[in-house]
Amino acid sequence: METKYITLENAYKAVDARIEELEEKHGSIRPSTRIGVWGVKQHLIDMPVESVKPIIHAYWTLHIYTIRDGFDCWGKTEYKDILEYECSNCDEISQQKTKYCPNCGADMEKLEAF
């Protein structure tokens, strides 16, 4: 199961929005309910935090370059193809197609180049 994260600010907004809904529906809220809401907010503050960053999804764009690679034993020019992969997020070039961009850390597994 994928772990999802929310900001403390968004959690507060959700709790406050629910209180406003209840006030509109019932006209007022009992003091015990307000104390309970305060307890929920305090619990959110006391929870351990994790350092997370947004996941960036990108894809590799393949570039193929043909270069001269010298001469064979009969003097005929030899060529070879060079494969380079360009990150769609940061435009950095990689010699290997990896699961993550080594420069920006973008996740390359979910998107494909069109």
Task: Give the pLDDT confidence of 47-104 residue by residue, as tens digits.
Answer: 877 777 778 899 999 999 998 888 888 889 899 999 999 999 999 999 989 999 999 9
Rounded distance, CA 44 to CA 64, Å?
52
- Write down the pLDDT at residue 45: 78
Residues 70, 59: contact at Cβ < 8 Å? no
13 or 5, greater pLDDT: 13
Residue 113 domain flag: yes
The reported pTM is 0.50
Residue 13 domain flag: yes
Residue 89 domain flag: yes
Rounded distance, CA 8 to CA 43, Å?
11
- Write down the pLDDT at residue 113: 56
Residue 2 domain flag: no
Number of independent structural domains in the chain: 2
Do 69 and 21 fall into the same domain? no
Domain of residue 33 covers 8-46
Do 112 and 75 fall into the same domain? yes
Do 69 and 90 fall into the same domain? yes
